[in-house]
Amino acid sequence: MSLLIQNGRIVTASDDFVGDVLVEGEVIAAMGPKLAKPAGADVIDASGKFVFPGFIDPHVHIYLPFMGTFAKDTYATASRAALVGGTTTLIEMCCPARGDDPLEAFELWKSKGAESACDYTFHMGISRFDETTEAAIREIAARGVTSLKVFLAYKGAFGIDDGELFQTLKLAKELGLIVTAHCENETLVSELQRRLLSEGKTGPEWHEPSRPPQVEAEGVHHLMTFAEMTGAHVYCVHTSCREALEAVQQAQLRGVQAWVETVIPYLVVDKTYAERPNFEGAKYVMSPPLRDVKHQPVLWNALRSRLVSTVATDHAPFDFHGQKEMGRDDFTKIPNGIPSVEDRINLLYTYGVCRGRIDLPTLVDAASTQAAKLFGLYPRKGTIAVGSDADLVVYDPAYRGKISAQTQQMAVDYSAFEGWDLEGRPTIVTVRGQIQVCDGKFVGNLGSGQFLARPATHF
């Protein structure tokens, strides 16, 4: 089957021109001005619209047991939401608890992806390192999962100690794996939480003071030291503040191979949202927390200068009613997460590009290309090039609308961005040449997504 997208403004991380894209089967066959239409080809007129490579969200949680409950999305709902929002590939955090068998956990997480409508892969969580872990990591890497995830927080659940961190990084260096890390000092978090609760400070507004910027920066500094000692390549997930950025930058100047991710909530909402009365602030509890608004221009500037490599979501969908409410009398029991897999690209375009904070190639680079390069998917994903998968987003900058929980695809009972204006949206989205979204609506097939096995590239 052939598909010809004509007259669009084609934007990649390095190119920006008006032309056509020809798709043959699952891949891009040609691109350039005024391509000839093959006999029988379907045609999409993209005049006045952008044509982007399919976007990659490098940090999502779909199947997630957490704090005594489970995230609400399945791959059926999450992949629909991702595609409507222009994301064609998901990289999910596989997060086994400390007592779980890593191989069994990997197979469980992978089985959940069978109903996905977009392509997917994983970062493999390492929640302990004992005599069985090395063999499990080697096996999982051989199956094409070449990135790991460690938590320097959540003691007793996901968190690992320093000996386990050293062993994980040492093995990752040997195997050419990149280690993604949640960077907060778990002891400081625990002690600050205990002190605040003892003072009767139990509401969601106290979540941020229990995990201030210094706690995140110390976690980053700790990771950087271990990366320097082992030579491992590391990636700081959901970086929220100036202090953490500075800790990475100082390490990079020492030669540490480190990259930075931020997530869309940190760019557009601040800690005052978590301070809303009547427990409404619980909708905005995530870790690290939303910060003072002064950190937002720092993050935007770091994104524009490429100190921040990627913009993800840390999508973790928990209902306000019945789930977030578990922490009504104790903020430490509020399930963490701001659902946003559907909104990332529209928010990044509306409040980034349209406000002059970043340009279009930076949007593509941060929301697609860098993730593909860092996690072994490039050039199959992350760009528009001959031979690349035909994951394409035709984006209409003339669209005007609002975000609403009533119309979202995500399986949660609220939107963190309720009523926010949008100045653009995807109208056509393809995954490997198949149209999955048309006129902003999901029209694809659940179960058509593929698991993406990836090579090791971080030696």
Neighbours of 420 (CB within 10 A): 18
Contact 401, 423 (CB under 8 A): no
Q: What is the CATH number of domain 54-374?
A: 3.20.20.140
Predicted pLDDT at 412 = 98
Q: Which SS3 state, helix, strand or coil, does residue 306 take? A: coil
What percentage of the chain reaches a pLDDT higher than 70? 100
The β-bridge relationship of strands 50-53 and 55-60 is unpaired
Q: How far apart are CA 36 and CA 25, in angstroms?
A: 17
CB contact at 8 A, 315 and 336: no
pLDDT in tens, the chain (459 residues): 899 999 999 999 999 999 999 999 999 999 999 999 999 999 999 999 999 999 999 999 999 998 889 999 999 999 999 999 999 999 999 999 999 999 999 999 999 999 999 999 999 999 999 999 999 999 999 999 999 999 998 876 788 999 999 999 999 999 999 999 999 999 999 999 999 999 999 999 999 999 999 999 999 999 999 999 999 999 999 999 999 999 999 999 999 999 999 999 999 999 999 999 999 999 999 999 999 999 999 999 999 999 999 999 999 999 999 999 999 999 999 999 999 999 999 999 999 999 999 999 999 999 999 999 999 999 999 999 999 999 999 999 999 999 999 999 999 999 999 999 999 999 999 999 999 999 999 999 999 999 999 999 999
- Of 175, 266, 179, nearest in space to 216 by CA: 266
Residues 211, 192: Cα–Cα separation, whole Å: 8
Q: Rounded to 5 degrees, what are φ and ψ at 430? A: -115, 150
How many residues does this entry show for the chain? 459
Residue spans per domain, the chain? 54-374
Quick check: helix, strand or coil at residue 45?
strand
pLDDT at 140: 98
Provide the pLDDT for residue 440.
95
Pairing assessment for the beta strands 147-151 and 178-182 based on DSSP bridges: parallel
Give the whole-angstrom CA distance, residue 27 versus residue 391.
Answer: 8
Q: How far apart are the C-alpha atoms of 308 and 366, rounded to whole Å?
A: 8
The three-point CA angle 335-303-285 to 5° equals 15
**Alpha-carbon distance 394 to 439, whole Å?**
10
Residue 242 contacts residue 298 (beta carbons within 8 Å): yes
Query: How far is it, in rounded angstroms, from Cα 156 to Cα 290?
Result: 24
Which are the contacts of 61, defined by CB distance < 8 A and separation ≥ 6?
A: 71, 92, 93, 95, 314, 315, 316, 317, 337
Residues forming a β-bridge with 89: 56, 119
Strands (E), 258-368: 258-263, 310-312
Whole-number pLDDT of residue 155: 74
Parallel, antiparallel or unpaired: strands 50-53 and 401-402 = unpaired
Amino acid at 167: Q
Token pair 């929002």 in the structure block, residue:
85
For residue 136, give the H/E element and its range.
helix 133-142
Q: For residue 289, what is the DSSP state? A: P
Short-list 256, 202, 195, CA closest to 225: 256
What is the DSSP code (8-state) at residue 389?
B
The residue type of 276 is: R
Query: What pTM value is reported for the model?
Result: 0.98
